[in-house]
């Protein structure tokens, strides 16, 4: 498909995502993403993954470094999926999150085929039985994505700014991904998010 240089083919991308059972999506310029370093405090104090995985803070870099990397992509496609789920059933929840992550990787690949460079923030990696961190590289570097929060983005604020729904009600779980997009350049992205 021919497209003007330096232009993101949004219509083509919207066709692509219509092939997937997405609940809602929105476009935002990445300089409008709501960052707040306090998110990291929550990661540090409340998440058992902190400092234990390749795609979690602080291994992903400081919030300022994440923000710099994200700024290399002018546009972000934010989307959500919803699933019927028993919040108490952690095995079921992990299985649903895995489906969301697989769908995110497929959408990312289709957007790349449409002529864009991409990077992804999502719900975090589907944990291996034992993470290779810090001794060996990640086993799934192409499909294990850092969380939206790991970059210091305040998800509830982002959802509000983009007129999306954060929660769809009892018995349902909502997952979000952000695909960062820029027109394909000769120089490949200098980082994999």
Say whether residue 55 binds ligand SF4 (CB under 6 A). Answer: yes
Compare residues 49 and 112 and give the one whose CB is closer to ligand SF4: 49
| 6-45 footprint of ligand SF4 as x/- string (CB under 6 A) | ----------------------------------------
- Per DSSP, the three-state class of 83 is strand
Residue 83 and residue 12: Cα distance in Å, rounded? 26
Q: Is the dihedral of CA 157, 162, 167, 172 positive or negative?
A: negative
Task: Give the residue from 119, 142, 121, 139 showing the smallest Cα distance to 130.
Answer: 139
For 172, the enclosing helix (H) or strand (E) is strand 172-183
State the nearest-atom distance from the C-beta of 21 to ligand SF4, in Å.
Answer: 24
Dig out the tokens for 162 from the structure. 């983009």
- Asked if 57 and 150 count as a contact pair (C-beta separation under 8 A), the reply is yes
| 126-155 footprint of ligand SF4 as x/- string (CB under 6 A) | -xx--xxx----xxx---x-----------
- By CB under 6 A, the count of residues binding ligand SF4 is 13
Task: Give the residue from 169, 113, 99, 102 showing the smallest Cα distance to 142.
Answer: 102
Say whether residue 181 binds ligand SF4 (CB under 6 A). Answer: no
- Taking CB under 6 A as the binding criterion, the range among 53-61, 96-104, 107-115, 156-164 that sits at the site for ligand SF4 is 53-61
Say whether residue 53 binds ligand SF4 (CB under 6 A). Answer: yes
Say whether residue 125 binds ligand SF4 (CB under 6 A). Answer: yes
Compare residues 123 and 174 and give the one whose CB is closer to ligand SF4: 123
Residue 56 and residue 74: Cα distance in Å, rounded? 23
Q: What residues line the site for ligand SF4 (CB under 6 A)?
A: 53-55, 125, 127-128, 131-133, 138-140, 144
């Amino acid at each position: 498909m021919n497209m003007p240089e330096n232009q993101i083919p949004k219509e083509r991308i919207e066709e692509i995502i219509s092939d997937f059972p997405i609940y809602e999506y929105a476009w935002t310029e990445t300089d409008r993403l709501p960052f707040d370093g306090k998110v990291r405090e929550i990661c540090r104090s409340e998440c058992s993954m902190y400092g234990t995985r390749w795609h979690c803070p602080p291994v992903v870099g400081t919030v300022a470094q994440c923000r710099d990397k994200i700024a290399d992509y002018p546009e972000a496609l934010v989307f959500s999926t919803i699933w019927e789920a028993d919040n108490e059933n952690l095995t079921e929840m992990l299985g649903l999150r895995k489906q969301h992550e697989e769908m995110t990787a497929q959408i990312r690949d289709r957007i790349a085929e449409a002529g864009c460079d991409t990077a992804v923030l999502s719900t975090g990696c589907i944990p291996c039985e034992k993470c290779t961190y810090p001794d060996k590289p990640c086993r799934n570097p192409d499909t294990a994505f850092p969380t939206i929060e790991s970059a210091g983005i305040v998800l509830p604020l982002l959802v509000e700014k983009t007129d999306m729904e954060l929660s769809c009600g009892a018995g349902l779980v909502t997952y979000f991904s952000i695909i960062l997009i820029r027109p394909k350049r000769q120089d490949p992205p200098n980082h994999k998010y």
